[in-house]
Each structure stands twice: as structure tokens, then as C-alpha cells.
Amino acid sequence: MASQAARGTIGRGMAFIRLGDGPPLVFLPGLSAHHRPPQGLDHWVQVKEIEPFTRRHETWWLQRPVGLDPDATMSDLATNYADALAEQFDGPVDVLGHSTGGSVALQLAADHPLAVRRLVLVSSGCRLSPGGREAQLQIARLLRRDRPRRAGAVVMSMLAAGTASRLAMECIGWILGAAVMGNGDPDLLATINAEDAFDLTQRLDSISIPVLVIGGQRDAFYTGGVFEETASLLPRSRVVLCRGKGHMRAANPRVVQEVLSFLEDAAGSNPD
């Protein structure tokens, strides 16, 4: 594993962190307070999120562009990624999308099939559940009203797996305030707006690459069997549900184990 992360921008000013050695793996992150290059503690957190994969892969953490059109769609975001990957790599690469990054990654695989070799969706699916959509819209409304503490509380409560932990996480979100979701950066609001309209259910059968879907059984953003539905409609996929877990991080040890096993399948190929 490389001892120090490289960093910069590619494509349409898309911030990246590159770390590790081996076959490339492109990591698309979830919602963040802004799309500028991460600094300080934020940079450390993002490195820790990808670090488990860097032992076997040259891992690229790749953020969405700065300066999004307020009416940008998931297809627009996917095109940004497709252009950046074409600039950087000679052929299709493995892609891991976490949360909202998974929505963009799935759109990327549907719209630009030659860009993605294999796809991993962590805590992500073909659409948000109604509760997940409403939570994200509530976050956007609160940020527009300059209520970052309440927005942070909503975000953190949605990450929990049960009632008790939800209350505790809500308190933590309130205390952290703007450190969670910032103060209403336009790129964050545009991304929430894009994901609100995202539903790829009708196009999943056109995605022919191998796909791994992994998430927590109690993920509040994806209730009602969205993970299972997503995998069932993809021609070459499997789903891993983690019992008792909520909205899981990509660095969760169970997730890391499943992802590396999937990516190291010699054929790449026919996940059952």
C-alpha cells in the first residue's frame, strides 16, 4: 500500500484521492457538505473510508464536480464520471459506489456500459425508499432555512439501525451541526435534487456486468426490500444483507470482506 495519498482534480474539476497499488478501483462517495477537495479531518476521514481496499487495489476516491447546475440529473453526474474515467483509464474499471455515490454508479453503468467492468453498490440501490427521499428533502429544506443543526440531526438519525441508537445519533448530529452537512452548499442541494428523481428500476435488466449489492437490513434510506429488488432485476448480481445493521460505511469489515472477495473472483464474472 502506498504510504501517502496523492490528490488533485481530474475531469470537470472532480477532486480525487489516490492510494494503494494493484488493479484500479474507483470509489464514488455518498453525500457530503461540499464537492471541494477534502481538507484536514475531512481528508483523513475519506482516506480511512477507502484504506481497507488500498491493500489490493489502486483506489481512487472521486468526488462529484464543483459548480453543478441546480437542475443536474443523475445522468448528468454519470456523464461527468464517464468523461473523467475515459481521461484517466484505457478501458473499463471496477467501481464501488457508496450511498448516493452508488446511485450515480448505477446510472453510470446504465448510461455508459463501456466505462464499468464490475460494480459494487454499498448501502445503495435502484432508488431511495419513500422515507429515504423524504429525509433527504427535509435535509435540503433545513439547510436552505439555515438550520444546520437540525439537518445534521436528521442525517445522523437515518444512519442508525434502531430506535435507541437513532435518538443517540440524532443528538450527535445536533451537536456537530454544520460539521455534518455544512451550511447548504449548492452542490449538495443539487445532488439531493438529482437523487430525488432517481429511479432506475426499469433499466436494470440492461446492465450486463457483474454487480454486488450489499447493505444493512435496517437501512432507513432503503426500507421495503430495495436492496433485494435491485439485485433481483440485475441479470448478473447477488445481494448481501447484513443483519441488524443500518446505513453501513464502506469501511465496515464485513463490507470490505465481501467486496474484496467479489473483486478477486478470477472470472469477474457470474456472482450467484
Res 10 pLDDT > 90: yes
Which residue, chain included where needed, has cell 456486468?
209
Which residue, chain included where needed, has cell 448528468?
76
* Domains of the chain by start residue, with CATH: 6-127+200-263 (3.40.50.1820), 131-188 (no CATH)
Mean pLDDT, rounded, for 184-195: 98
Mean pLDDT, rounded, for 30-41: 96
Mean pLDDT, rounded, for 236-260: 97
pLDDT band at 265 (very low <50, low <70, confident <90, very high): confident
Mean pLDDT, rounded, for 75-103: 98
- Measured from the Cβ of residue 115, the count of other Cβ atoms closer than 10 Å reads 23
**Phi/psi of residue 121, each to 5°?**
-110, 115
Q: State the first-to-last Cα distance of the chain, in angstroms, to the nearest integer.
A: 31
> CB neighbours of 216 closer than 8 A, spacing ≥ 6?
123, 161, 241, 242, 244, 245, 246, 247, 248
Distance in angstroms (rounded) separating the CA atoms of residues 86 and 88: 6
Distance in angstroms (rounded) separating the CA atoms of residues 261 and 62: 22
Give me 264's grid cell: 478477486
What's the pLDDT score for residue 4?
A: 83
What's the pLDDT score for residue 163?
A: 87
Mean pLDDT, rounded, for 140-153: 98
DSSP character at residue 96: E
What's the pLDDT score for residue 237?
A: 97
CA distances from 159 to 138, 183, 200, 245 (A): 15, 20, 23, 9
What's the pLDDT score for residue 3?
A: 59
- Asked which of 1-10, 56-65, 105-114, 186-195 is least confident by mean pLDDT, the reply is 1-10
Which residue, chain included where needed, has cell 489490493?
56
Mean pLDDT, rounded, for 72-93: 98
Question: Where would I find the H helices in the chain?
Answer: 40-50, 74-88, 100-111, 130-144, 148-158, 163-176, 178-181, 186-196, 226-233, 253-263
Are the C-beta atoms of 122 and 215 separated by less than 8 Å?
yes
- Measured from the Cβ of residue 251, the count of other Cβ atoms closer than 10 Å reads 16
Res 268 pLDDT > 60: no
What's the pLDDT score for residue 82?
A: 98
Could you give the percent of the chain with pLDDT greater than 90? 94
Mean pLDDT, rounded, for 101-123: 98
Higher local confidence (pLDDT), 269 or 33: 33
